[in-house]
């Protein structure tokens, strides 16, 4: 909110301008008549609007607790990523990801939406760890192979 006297920006709840000291108007809605001893009414803040339908995954967590009627969408379970990573290289890390992936749907089906959300996060974490471990391992392996290839070429000269 801006001070009508000097134009300085102020906190919306400010009683007086922090720059010039003039009293600040209380935000848009005219304040109802106050009893003289009442504490100053807080500036009316916008009622919490329902979370926008956005792509941010953190939105799911912020909607707790869910109203009885509103069924949230099932969180992602990363099942196929986990399966491929498990089969291609990284089963010690991929198996936990698959286990958590199965829990996402199971808990969601039971109505445990918070549990499904947590399982989704765990599945994502293990899947990403497995993916990164596989990539790092592949890069190391290829690097060592290249070194070996170069050594072979050197010995053939």
Partner 1 sequence: MTSRATTERPTDPWERWSSVAVLAIMATGLAVLVVPPLTRFAPPCLFHEATGFYCPGCGSGRAASALLRLDIVSALRMNALAVLLAPVATYALLAEALAPSKVDLPKLRLGPRATTVLALTIIAFWVLRNVNAWPFEWLAPG
Residues that bind partner 1 (CB under 8 A): 53-57, 59, 72-81, 83-89, 91, 95, 98-99, 101-102, 105-106, 108-109, 124, 127-128, 131, 134-135, 137-138, 141-142, 145, 149
CB of 8 to partner 1, least distance (A): 39
On the CB side of 102, how many CA atoms lie within 13 Å of its CA? Answer: 6
Nearer to partner 1, 135 or 151 (CB): 135
The token duo for 136 is 């790092």
Enter the DSSP assignment of 127.
H
Distance of CA 118 to the CA centre of its chain: 12
Query: To the nearest whole angstrom, how small is the minimum distance from the Cβ of residue 65 to partner 1?
Result: 19
* Distance in Å, CB of 154 to partner 1, minimum: 16
């Amino acid at each position: 909110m801006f001070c009508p006297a000097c134009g300085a920006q102020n906190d919306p709840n400010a009683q007086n301008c922090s720059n010039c000291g003039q009293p600040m108007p209380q935000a848009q809605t005219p304040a109802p008549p106050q009893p003289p001893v009442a504490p100053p009414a807080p500036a009316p803040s916008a009622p919490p609007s329902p979370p926008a339908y956005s792509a941010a995954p953190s939105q799911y967590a912020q909607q707790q607790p869910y109203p009885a009627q509103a069924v949230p969408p099932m969180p992602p379970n990363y099942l196929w990523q986990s399966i491929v990573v498990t089969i291609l290289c990284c089963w010690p890390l991929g198996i936990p990801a698959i286990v958590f992936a199965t829990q996402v749907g199971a808990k969601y089906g039971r109505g445990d939406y918070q549990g499904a959300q947590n399982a989704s996060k765990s599945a994502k974490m293990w899947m990403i760890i497995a993916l990164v471990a596989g990539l790092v391992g592949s890069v190391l392996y290829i690097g060592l192979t290249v070194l070996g290839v170069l050594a072979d070429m050197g010995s053939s000269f």
